[in-house]
Amino acid sequence: MTIGRNVPVWMLLFATVAYAGPITQDPCPGTVVVEEWKKLGNDVLENLLFADGSLWVSDGTVGSVRRFNPDRSEGMGLTGVSSPGGLARDSDGLIYAGVGNSIANAVLKSGAAKVVRFSPTDPDGSAADYASGFNMPNGMTFGPGGDLYISNDFDYGLIRIQPDGTWAELAHVWGTNGLVVDPAGESLYAAITFDQRSPIERIPLGAPAEHETFAELTFGVASLEPAVYTEPDADAPLVGLKGLDDMTRSDGEGWRLYVVANGMGELLEVDPATGDACLVASGLQTPSSVRIAPAGGPFDTSGKTMTFWVVEFSGSIRRIGYSPE
């Protein structure tokens, strides 16, 4: 999330925190190749997804959800939207996008943000409001029964939107960002950005009040909430804050969470059973979102077991090939 056209907000709010250094998770076992696939100037890129044989990217600088073909050419996207944020695709084939994903809306509790949906075959012509009245539709994912979940990384506001567009708070969790529902559809996982512990929260969908912090990726005692934690994990890396942003997962038995760390420039793998984490890739520049290319599709082109795609506040779209041992 950014406060201006090209200024990541973590640079302003945590300017005294050191974001580089050798103290972080151990590398994941395996081989990794990181390459820049396309550079969109200095545009602030917030989110991405794959749909209709294309890569779709939320570009906050030009106010559009941009569409890219496998040959790197640009197709017809959704234009004229202010601060596009989270992206998700439902079983109906439509793309859902958060609009008004700004710090001003979040801090002022404006209720001016919304979710729109559109067909990938006619983005501008088919775009229509789906649900409104939000302060920040940042992260976004679908869950069982067609429920759509959206996050707000500057306030309480983990929201569940039902298929008819009505919505309510799912759980009173502060500062959520990237969202993932597990393969069984039982729990929602939420990365939290502005917390020194770099935590990930687990919210049982059948009993959301029983949510818990199941992983802490760094040592920390405070968050922007504000909150103070008196029993920090002394075994966690001492980097202070990773700035966890968006998140995705693999499928099948032994599935894993994958989360980008905006402040540290990392892509991390997290075991949902234990909370243990390892480092897939580092040296990224303010990564904001990550997805795994559908296997065998036109963007599964790294030659590795998994092809990750990452967008950054720097304007880069990166392809990361990873083959675990």
pLDDT tens, residue by residue, 128-138: 999 999 999 99
Share of the chain residues as helix, strand and coil, in percent rounded to the nearest 5: 5, 45, 50
Q: Give dist(CA 201, CA 173) in Å, integer.
A: 8
Is residue 2 one of the residues assigned to a domain? no
Report pLDDT digits (tens) over 196-245: 999 999 999 999 999 999 999 999 999 999 899 988 888 888 776 799 99
Is residue 240 one of the residues assigned to a domain? yes
Report pLDDT digits (tens) over 37-64: 999 999 999 999 999 999 999 999 999 9
Total of domains in the chain = 1
Q: Give dist(CA 34, CA 28) in Å, integer.
A: 14
Angle made by CA atoms 99, 178, 20, in degrees to the nearest 5: 115
Is residue 292 one of the residues assigned to a domain? yes
Q: Give dist(CA 192, CA 175) in Å, integer.
A: 6
Amino acid at 302: S
Domain hosting residue 170, numbered range: 9-324
Q: How far is CA 245 from CA 16, 41, 118, 240, 254, in A?
A: 19, 21, 25, 15, 23
Q: Give dist(CA 294, CA 20) in Å, integer.
A: 32
Tell me which H or E stretch contains 256.
none
- Kindly tell me if the per-residue pLDDT of 11 is higher than 70: no
Q: What is the pLDDT of residue 23?
A: 76
Report pLDDT digits (tens) over 107-124: 889 999 999 999 999 999
**Would the CA dihedral through 160, 150, 215, 226 be positive or negative?**
negative
Q: What percent of the chain has pLDDT over 90?
A: 84
Residue given tokens 């243990």 in the structure block:
276
Tell me which H or E stretch contains 215.
strand 212-216
Q: What is the pTM of this model?
A: 0.92
CATH number of the domain that residue 141 is part of: 2.120.10.30
Q: What is the pLDDT of residue 233?
A: 85
Q: How far is CA 46 from CA 123, 183, 322, in A?
A: 18, 24, 23
Q: Between 261 and 15, where is the model more confident?
A: 261
Residue closest to 160 by CA, chosen among 259, 174, 146: 146
Token pair for 237: 């890396």
Query: Given pLDDT bands bounded at 50, 70 and 90, which one contains residue 1?
Result: very low
Token pair for 169: 């708070």
Q: What is the pLDDT of residue 316?
A: 98
Report pLDDT digits (tens) over 138-157: 999 999 999 999 999 999 98
Is residue 85 one of the residues assigned to a domain? yes
Is residue 3 one of the residues assigned to a domain? no
Is-contact 322 30, C-beta < 8 A?
A: yes
> Omega of the bond prior to 27 within 30 degrees of 0, cis?
no
Q: What is the pLDDT of residue 66?
A: 98
Is residue 4 one of the residues assigned to a domain? no
Q: Give dist(CA 96, CA 130) in Å, integer.
A: 8
Q: Give dist(CA 171, CA 209) in Å, integer.
A: 6
Report pLDDT digits (tens) over 248-293: 999 989 999 999 999 999 999 999 999 999 999 999 999 999 999 9
- How buried is residue 204: exposed, middle or buried, by Cβ count under 10 Å (0-12/13-18/19+)? middle
Strands (E), 29-94: 30-39, 45-51, 54-59, 64-68, 74-78, 87-89
Is residue 1 one of the residues assigned to a domain? no
Amino acid at 190: A
Is residue 184 one of the residues assigned to a domain? yes
DSSP string, 123-147: HHHH-EEEEEEES---SEEE-GGG-
